[in-house]
A and B are shown apart, each in its own frame.
Chain A
Amino acid sequence: VNPDLQREREKCSFNITELTNLLDGGPQMTEERRRREATVLNEGIHIEEVPSEYLSHKEKYELAVKKACHLFKLIRRLQEEENTGMENFRAILGGSLGAAILQDGSPLTLHYVMFIPTLMGQASVEQQAYWIGRAFNLDIIGTYAQTELGHGTFIRGLETTATYDPKTKEFVLHSPTLTAYKWWPGGLAHTANYCIVMAQLYSNGQCHGIHPFIVQLRDEETHMPLPGIKVGEIGAKLGMNGTNNGFLGFEHVRIPREHMLMKNCQVLEDGTYVKSPSSKLTYGTMMFVRVVIVKDMCNYIAKAVTIATRYSAVRRQSQPKPDEPEPQIIDYLTQQHKLMVGISTVHAFQLSAEWIWNLYNNVTAELDAGDMERLPELHALSCCLKAVTTADAAECVERCRLSCGGHGYMLASNLPVTYGHVTAACTYEGENTVLLLQTARYLVKTWQQATGGTVLPPTVAYLSRVGAGRRS
């Protein structure tokens, strides 16, 4: 070990293991995490013959598929051995462990982050019984397509149509224009053979707004795109070039009526539309993913700040006092200013993420019981928290990169790749400015309620307390 780093460790005033346990949620959780990491890393999936940064775009994708399949095989084996559920998927593929193995991102991420959770949240019991087992076993690979080439966060503006034909009891999916093409979903290009597609539902000549449909894209044997399916990859991006983001268009593609996800709304055989108790229920998957993103940001900042802090203890620079050796750069206050806020941000985000995760679980349970009172509050909070944490994370990672000077610019530092991951999060699952404006809509409404004397939900209760809230 580098002697400077060793000295730093010797002067630490607290028990490091105690803090690790606290961050993990207890000694048992630390042990569990370490065991999981050891099991996965002992497989050697992360070891590359040629560093992936020197591969072509196509080779990067092929490597990502190879690694993702190895990883899924491993997870399946672990599930059989340990009889665990979804947690292993999230623990291994999500967060820093997954990112370590799949440096350029995984083409299967959306399968477990969005495809399976959407089936769980929006498919009827019968549909879940049919699809979830197949998805878990990887008999099918799915993704989730909502954003269109011409339409982003404003989902009511989506153009893809799903028109019910009562004669054949089928929906006809169609992309009326180029701007209606689905654009961006991970795994969509060459990996997934099924996709949950958000489309405007038409039945008996009436539009009923956007609804989710499960659509087969490729033949299960040959993997060839099915007739009427226009699918491909969107091209190279700033980072995450292994995620296989794709485009998707439909030319009058017919799917069975049962392929509309019908937990909340239904179309009966004769085309009668049975309305959901709340149109807001379809926002469930988006909120889940935004909460997951907040957790991911903690991992990325922790990674960046660990790299930068250790480097700052080893690196020596300049000679402020004559006849004295070059100081460690961590002794400069400007360097401490760059690093310490990153360390505290990890703690701040982790506790905020836990808080909103608990709120998400409570609200989901309340939704199942038909209570939607706290849904707007959770939606508003998850929107702004996703926006602020991703923006702050990008700033933190960039600050860490700058704190390592020219060495931080090297891909070998892993800081540029980490930046690629966090800055992508500023855009996906709702562009940050759009999300902040969604929160603002809730805040304006809440402020008006506060001035009217209404009792406000806990996270906005301060608006009633604070005098300035009534200034105007």
Chain B
Amino acid sequence: PPWDNTIEGIIRGFEVVAAGKIALCVANIERRQKSGMSYEDAWNMTSVQLTQASEAHCRVFILTSYFEETERQVKTTSPELREVLLQLVDLYVVYWALQRVGDLLRFTSISERDIATLQNWYEELLTKLRPNAVGLVDAFDLRDEILHSALGAYDGRVYERLMEEALKSPLNAEPVNQSFHKYLKPFMQGKL
């Protein structure tokens, strides 16, 4: 079928990839068996492809459930939130299409022009989402005690917190560590 450069089209493309990979695995197992291999050995020889087929199947599931469930969710959200949630779905689906472009080229009718369009689409989505990045992570509503991070606290006092944490190092409890007298000093004096 002709390639359809839409979210639905990409998900259908992933279905074709997963089905194609499973079909190839079955064909390879059968071919190896015909050449005299036992089923177990044929399975083992095909196992790298089999793991890739499983992963492709899982991608279909994640992409489909994400897309369909979001479509259902946004029916009840405000238009502003709807727009952002759909941008996120688009970003995720296009990101994975670009990550698996080799598979799409192998199993579907995607063209180089389609890929260029996808790349451009992805870059535009990043720019569109950029102003909402902090709002999107704030919405995860993780308290500072839960984040437990000098870099990620809500107030953004990154450098002050890094310094506060540095001062907690047990090595900072004394100005001169005993190892200086024990090892470094004799060594340095011996050298001198």
Interface of A toward B, CB cutoff 8 Å: 1-2, 4-6, 8-9, 11-16, 18-20, 22-24, 30, 33-34, 37, 41, 46, 50-51, 54, 96-97, 99-100, 103, 302-303, 305-315, 330-331, 333, 336-337, 339-341, 343-349, 351-352, 354-355, 381, 383-385, 387-388, 404, 407-408, 410, 412-415, 433, 436-437, 439-440, 443-444, 447-448, 459-460, 462-463, 465-472
With contacts A313-B156, A412-B162 known, is A307 near B88, CB below 8 A? no
Q: Indicate which residue in A1, A310, A471 contacts B137 across the interface (CB closer than 8 Å).
A: A310
Contacts of B154 in A (CB 8 A): 1, 310
Interface of B toward A, CB cutoff 8 Å: 1, 12, 15-16, 18-20, 22-27, 29-30, 47, 50-51, 53-55, 57-63, 65-66, 69-70, 73, 77-78, 80-81, 83-85, 88-89, 91-92, 95, 107, 123, 125-127, 129-143, 145-158, 161-162, 165-166, 168-170
Residue among A333, A410, A436 with most chain B CB within 10 A = A436
Q: Indicate which residue in B19, B50, B57, B134 contacts A9 across the interface (CB closer than 8 Å).
A: B134
A413:B149 contact, CB within 8 angstroms: yes
B136:A19 contact, CB within 8 angstroms: yes
A2:B156 contact, CB within 8 angstroms: yes
Which 7 residue pairs of A and B lie closest in terms of their CB atoms, listed nearest first?
A: A2-B156, A307-B152, A12-B135, A472-B27, A469-B19, A5-B156, A8-B134
With contacts A22-B73, A414-B147, A463-B19 known, is A310 near B126, CB below 8 A? no
Closest to B82 in A: A14
Closest to B91 in A: A344
Contacts of A471 in B (CB 8 A): 20, 23-24, 27
Closest to A461 in B: B15
B137:A54 contact, CB within 8 angstroms: no
| Bound CA span A444–B25, Å | 8
| Bound CA span A333–B146, Å | 29
Closest to B62 in A: A352
Whole-angstrom distance from the CB of B21 to the nearest CB of chain A?
Answer: 9
Q: Indicate which residue in A4, A14, A352, A404 contacts B61 across the interface (CB closer than 8 Å).
A: A352
B151:A404 contact, CB within 8 angstroms: yes
| Bound CA span A251–B88, Å | 57
B62:A343 contact, CB within 8 angstroms: no
A103:B148 contact, CB within 8 angstroms: yes
With contacts A310-B151, A410-B165 known, is A437 near B27, CB below 8 A? no
B26:A15 contact, CB within 8 angstroms: no
With contacts A22-B81, A410-B165, A466-B15 known, is A14 near B60, CB below 8 A? no
A462:B18 contact, CB within 8 angstroms: yes
A410:B162 contact, CB within 8 angstroms: yes
Whole-angstrom distance from the CB of B138 to the nearest CB of chain A?
Answer: 5
| Bound CA span A22–B57, Å | 28
Q: Indicate which residue in A307, A344, A408, A437 contacts B51 across the interface (CB closer than 8 Å).
A: A437
With contacts A384-B58, A407-B151 known, is A96 near B132, CB below 8 A? no
| Bound CA span A345–B93, Å | 10
Contacts of B142 in A (CB 8 A): 96, 302-303, 306
A18:B23 contact, CB within 8 angstroms: no
A472:B26 contact, CB within 8 angstroms: yes
With contacts A303-B147, A352-B66, A414-B149 known, is A341 near B91, CB below 8 A? yes
A-B contact pairs, 17 of them (CB 8 A): A1-B154, A2-B158, A11-B131, A20-B141, A46-B145, A343-B136, A347-B88, A348-B89, A351-B65, A355-B65, A388-B59, A415-B149, A436-B54, A440-B53, A443-B53, A447-B22, A469-B19
Contacts of A383 in B (CB 8 A): 54
B59:A15 contact, CB within 8 angstroms: no
With contacts A412-B162, A468-B20 known, is A310 near B156, CB below 8 A? yes
A448:B26 contact, CB within 8 angstroms: yes
Q: Indicate which residue in B92, B123, B147, B168 contacts A306 across the interface (CB closer than 8 Å).
A: B147
Closest to B142 in A: A306
Whole-angstrom distance from the CB of A9 to the nearest CB of chain B?
Answer: 6
Contacts of B70 in A (CB 8 A): 347, 351
| Bound CA span A333–B153, Å | 23
Contacts of B53 in A (CB 8 A): 440, 443
Contacts of B125 in A (CB 8 A): 340
| Bound CA span A46–B132, Å | 31
Contacts of B151 in A (CB 8 A): 307-308, 310-311, 404, 407-408, 412-415
Whole-angstrom distance from the CB of A444 to the nearest CB of chain B?
Answer: 6
With contacts A18-B78, A306-B142, A313-B156 known, is A343 near B54, CB below 8 A? no
Contacts of A341 in B (CB 8 A): 91-92, 95
B58:A388 contact, CB within 8 angstroms: yes
Q: Indicate which residue in B18, B92, B133 contacts A336 across the interface (CB closer than 8 Å).
A: B133
Contacts of B1 in A (CB 8 A): 467
| Bound CA span A438–B156, Å | 45
| Bound CA span A101–B73, Å | 33
With contacts A12-B134, A22-B77, A303-B146 known, is A54 near B170, CB below 8 A? yes
Q: Indicate which residue in B50, B146, B150, B152 contacts A96 across the interface (CB closer than 8 Å).
A: B146
B140:A437 contact, CB within 8 angstroms: no
| Bound CA span A330–B130, Å | 8
With contacts A404-B151, A440-B50 known, is A462 near B60, CB below 8 A? yes
Whole-angstrom distance from the CB of A18 to the nearest CB of chain B?
Answer: 5
| Bound CA span A139–B153, Å | 39
